[in-house]
């Protein structure tokens, strides 16, 4: 009987092993797979500022984090604070509003604040959080222009706190695999990048269509993915930009709020990029990199996932893990352990994007090629 039971057990184990998908070593290294020994090291205690839809998405994703924990909230809406207190078990003493959140400096339960508010508020809120001695994670775009972004970098350096930007794609396994392949020469010399980013935006009264709060329109919200993607996919900084703006609905997209911008980059190696940012077309979430020896295609390329990607060598099959869970655990490791990301996610990285976006707006306005330093 014992022998029969043992045989059945072994058969089940063997069948289970055969059913498991084959995962490459690179894929395994890029994932935080569960281990038999639970993590017992330090945890980054995070307060989320701005309890809208994306703030909720981050909070939900953090429930699966190992090294980061949601411990506080900052909001101007008392009803949302109450909801979050109940949903995420947040104590009253860790709840703040926009008037009193400077008091976090006296709260040891909060190590960092994730700012997820309208773009124009990022700079003043970052300055206040840094002054309170807490690390800053700021959603992208980091500011409404490069000058404000640089002021944020300077303030965080002065306060000796970290400043990270919410570049979740910089930590996404399929994206990192394509960057690895490019670095290892598997595509040959990079020649061309295309980034298509857009969707039809809804409510005309939302803050994203308010120039004073958003600092622009589609470019700030969705076009930044193509700006950023061109840089890490090509692996160089652009030296010039040209751009053309199209506006079909001047009522919805008022002065200073871009509806659609096509923009082009040139790189030192001779590589070029052609991109589209829009708030008036759906089904646009695609990256394409062409090299002398191969190519990479991602569609969807920046959505919440799963990302789908293939190269001349075949489809990429890395297991999907919620982007915001990966992002928060990785940023916790950067703060607590000094981990270095493959693609930077710091404030300086954010300023580079803002300088390019400033140049895109100038090129679209003047119709001229704008040089980038």
Which are the catalytic amino acids?
140, 225
Label residue 340 left, alpha or beta by phi (over 0 means left) and psi (-120 to 50 means alpha): beta
Alpha-carbon gap, residue 157 to 277, rounded angstroms: 33
- Which of 173, 164, 167, 172 is CA-nearest to residue 335? 164
Whether the CB-CB separation of 98 and 121 falls below 8 Å is answered with: no
Our separate counts of H helices and E strands in the chain read 12, 15
> CB-side exposure of 324: number of CA atoms within 13 Å?
20
d(C-alpha 275, C-alpha 238), whole Å: 13
Q: Are 329 and 66 in contact (CB under 8 A)?
A: yes
The token pair at 151 is 């002021």
Tokens at residue 119, please?
A: 């773009």
Helix (H, G, I), strand (E, B) or coil at 174: helix
């Amino acid at each position: 009987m014992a022998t029969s039971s043992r045989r059945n057990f072994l058969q089940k184990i063997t069948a289970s092993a055969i059913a498991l998908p084959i995962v490459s070593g690179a894929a395994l290294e890029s994932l935080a797979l569960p281990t038999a020994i639970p993590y017992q090291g330090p945890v980054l205690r995070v307060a989320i500022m701005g309890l809208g839809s994306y703030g909720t998405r981050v909070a939900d994703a953090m429930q699966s984090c190992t090294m980061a924990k949601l411990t506080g909230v900052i909001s101007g809406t008392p009803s949302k604070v109450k909801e979050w207190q109940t949903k995420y078990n947040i104590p009253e003493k860790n709840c703040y509003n926009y008037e009193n959140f400077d008091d976090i400096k006296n709260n040891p339960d909060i190590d960092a604040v994730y700012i997820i508010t309208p773009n124009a508020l990022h700079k003043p809120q970052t300055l206040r959080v840094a002054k309170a001695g807490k690390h800053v994670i700021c959603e992208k775009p980091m500011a409404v222009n490069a000058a404000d972004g640089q002021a944020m970098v300077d303030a965080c350096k002065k306060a000796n706190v970290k400043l990270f930007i919410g570049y979740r794609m910089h930590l996404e396994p399929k994206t990192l695999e394509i960057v690895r392949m490019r670095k290892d020469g598997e595509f040959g010399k990079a020649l061309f990048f295309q980034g298509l980013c857009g969707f039809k935006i809804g409510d005309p009264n939302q803050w994203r269509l308010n120039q004073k709060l958003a600092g622009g329109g589609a470019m700030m919200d969705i076009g930044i993915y193509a700006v950023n993607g061109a840089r890490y996919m090509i692996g160089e900084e652009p030296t010039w930009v040209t751009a053309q703006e199209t506006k079909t609905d001047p009522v919805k997209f008022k002065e200073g709020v871009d509806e659609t911008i096509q923009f082009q980059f040139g790189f030192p190696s001779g590589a070029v990029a052609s991109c589209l940012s829009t708030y008036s077309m759906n089904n646009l979430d695609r990256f394409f990199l062409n090299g002398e020896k191969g190519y990479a295609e991602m569609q969807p390329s920046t959505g919440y996932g799963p990302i789908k990607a293939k190269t001349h060598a075949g489809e990429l099959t890395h297991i999907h893990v919620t982007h915001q869970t990966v992002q928060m655990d990785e940023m916790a490791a950067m703060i607590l352990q000094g981990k270095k990301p493959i693609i930077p996610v710091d404030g300086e990285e954010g300023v580079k994007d803002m300088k390019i976006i400033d140049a895109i707006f100038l090129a679209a306005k003047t119709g001229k090629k704008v040089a980038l330093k």
